Amino acid sequence: MSATTDAPEVPAIPGIPKAPRVPNVTLYDHLLRDKHGKDYREIKVYETAGGYKAAKKALKMGPDAVLAEVKKASVRGRGGAGFPAGIKWGFVPKDTDKPKYLVINGDEGEPGTFKDNYYLSMDPHRLIEGCIICMMTLNIETCYIYIRGEFFDQINTVEKAVEQAYAAGYLGKNALKSKMTLNMYVHTGAGAYICGEETALLESLEGKPGQPRLKPPFPAVVGAFGCPTVINNVETLTSVPLIIEHGAEWFMGLGVERDGGSRIVGISGHVNNPGLYEVGVGETLYDMIYGPGGGVLEGRAIKAVIPGGSSCPVLTPDELDVRMTVDDMAKAGTMLGTCGIIVIAEGTCVVKCLQRISHFYAHESCGQCTPCREGTGWLARILDNLEDGRGRQSDLDLLLDVADQIGGNTICALGDAASLPVQSFLKKFRKDFEAHVEHAGCPFEEIPLPVWRKP
């Protein structure tokens, strides 16, 4: 089932080189099934809709065929880094005396990202089925689903679903009437964005502060409890039953070459219809914002778009005609990230936006590497000065200098995530920063934020 969105009025966007076009976006409901009016949290409902058939099929296919199918489907990791999932699975050693682990990253928490929230709260069996297929394929006995601690409801939902899967014989001893034992546990975080970084997540799973590990060794070889470990994002594994059920060809066909499938795009900020939308990989940012997103509040023009979560370099209105694939976004000088689009309307102070983002990274820095621990605080305080009217012209270069010293000089990617927004905002909106110095404070203070209504 698919539906084309109603085309809304498209306002002219200053700076867009060609005439604004009517967005044409096909929405899917393979992953995002919230409009079905069914409670997929219940195993019976899930099974009636074809659930757990893919796990049975995978058992018949055998590990080699399943791995080949997942590789062929070219599903890129949905957690932000975009690493091909099949290749990641292939890194796990086949012959090892040690136990192997599957760890699911459900520590969603980058501003603008809220897709895994849906799977965990509304469709937990899909995730469990994806985990089962992965465990059967790689001969893994134990799986931990790591969910951020703030998600109380989602934790309960997934725990209940895991219990149901045990009772139905999909998990436990002789799972799916095979010789395998498959154990699955829900593990809760306790509030730390950094635990979304895969090695910090492993530290957290082991009961320690979430401080990332140096790589190599990579988790596929030395992961949880010193053993080979696969770490996948929630959405990545939720896509696996679809690949097995319909085949890699079908899955790939939803997306583009080297970036297969459909995925859930989240749109937040100044749009008329914020929310989650499932589309094939490769729709453009422009189409997503003016199609399903419903355009900008109050018909305002776009000032800036953060395309994939707060760490992704910001784009201007003339840069939105870009396909949302890992490679296309990289070519455009930004990142696809988690497909969490944040739309910022004209009239909004981008310095204030960056201030919020920089405070986020200052708060979430784990404190392990000096450039990040000290630098993220500097960035946040310099931006405070600019907003509060204490800024100096030299602060602009100081911001860049500090950001340059963080990026690339830390154990994990949080350092880059903190510096990329600063560098890109300054590059694209330098005039706004200068205006804060000249104006001795925020020149946008008097302009109200767009008014929104609950849809």
Partner 1 sequence: MPRAFSPHAATEVERIRSRYPTNLAALIPTLLLAQKEFGYLGDDALSLVAETLDVPVTKVIATATFYTMLNKEPVGKFHVQICKNISCFLRNSDAVTRELRSCLGVAPGETTEDGLFTLTEVECLAACGRAPVVQINEEYHEWQTPESMRGVIDGLRNGATSNHGADV
Sites of contact with partner 1 (CB under 8 A): 99, 108-114, 116-117, 148-153, 185, 187-193, 204-210, 225, 266-270, 274-276, 306, 310, 340, 342, 344, 348, 352-353, 356-357, 359-360, 363-364, 366, 449, 452, 454
Structural tokens at position 275: 């929310």
Of 270, 314, 309, the C-alpha closest to 293 is 270
Question: Closest distance between partner 1 and the C-beta of residue 176, in Å?
Answer: 21
**Which stretches does DSSP call E strand in 340-436?**
340-345
Q: Which is nearer to partner 1, 141 or 395 (CB)?
A: 141
Helices 53-61, 234-246: crossing angle, 10 deg rounding: 70
Question: Closest distance between partner 1 and the C-beta of residue 58, in Å?
Answer: 25
Question: Closest distance between partner 1 and the C-beta of residue 291, in Å?
Answer: 16
DSSP 3-state of 101: strand
Question: Closest distance between partner 1 and the C-beta of residue 357, in Å?
Answer: 6
Of 346, 299, 414, the C-alpha closest to 12 is 299
Q: Which is nearer to partner 1, 310 or 410 (CB)?
A: 310
**Which stretches does DSSP call E strand in 178-301?**
183-188, 229-233, 262-269, 275-280
Q: Which is nearer to partner 1, 260 or 375 (CB)?
A: 375
Question: What DSSP state is assigned to residue 449?
Answer: P
Structural tokens at position 334: 């930004």
Q: Which is nearer to partner 1, 202 or 244 (CB)?
A: 202
How far from the centroid of its chain's Cα atoms is residue 206's Cα? 23
Sort strands 302-306 and 340-345 into parallel, antiparallel or unpaired. Answer: antiparallel
Question: Closest distance between partner 1 and the C-beta of residue 235, in Å?
Answer: 13
Question: Closest distance between partner 1 and the C-beta of residue 148, in Å?
Answer: 7
**Which stretches does DSSP call E strand in 170-211?**
183-188
Question: Closest distance between partner 1 and the C-beta of residue 77, in Å?
Answer: 18
Question: Closest distance between partner 1 and the C-beta of residue 195, in Å?
Answer: 9
Question: Closest distance between partner 1 and the C-beta of residue 266, in Å?
Answer: 6
Number of residues that this document lists for the chain: 455
Q: How far apart are CA 208 and CA 188, in angstroms?
A: 13
User: With 0-12 CB in 10 A as exposed, 13-18 as middle and 19+ as buried, what is 104?
Assistant: buried
Q: Which is nearer to partner 1, 74 or 117 (CB)?
A: 117
Question: Closest distance between partner 1 and the C-beta of residue 269, in Å?
Answer: 4
Q: Which is nearer to partner 1, 164 or 204 (CB)?
A: 204
Q: How far apart are CA 402 and CA 374, in angstroms?
A: 9
Sort strands 229-233 and 101-106 into parallel, antiparallel or unpaired. Answer: parallel
Alpha carbons within 13 A on the beta-carbon side of 20: 21
Question: Closest distance between partner 1 and the C-beta of residue 246, in Å?
Answer: 28
Q: Which is nearer to partner 1, 119 or 251 (CB)?
A: 119
Which ranges of 93-192 would DSSP assign to H, the alpha helix? 116-122, 124-138, 152-167
DSSP 3-state of 84: strand
Q: How far apart are CA 235 and CA 120, in angstroms?
A: 10
Judge whether 296 and 270 are in contact, CB under 8 Å.
Answer: yes
Q: How far apart are CA 26 and CA 278, in angstroms?
A: 9
Q: How far apart are CA 26 and CA 241, in angstroms?
A: 22
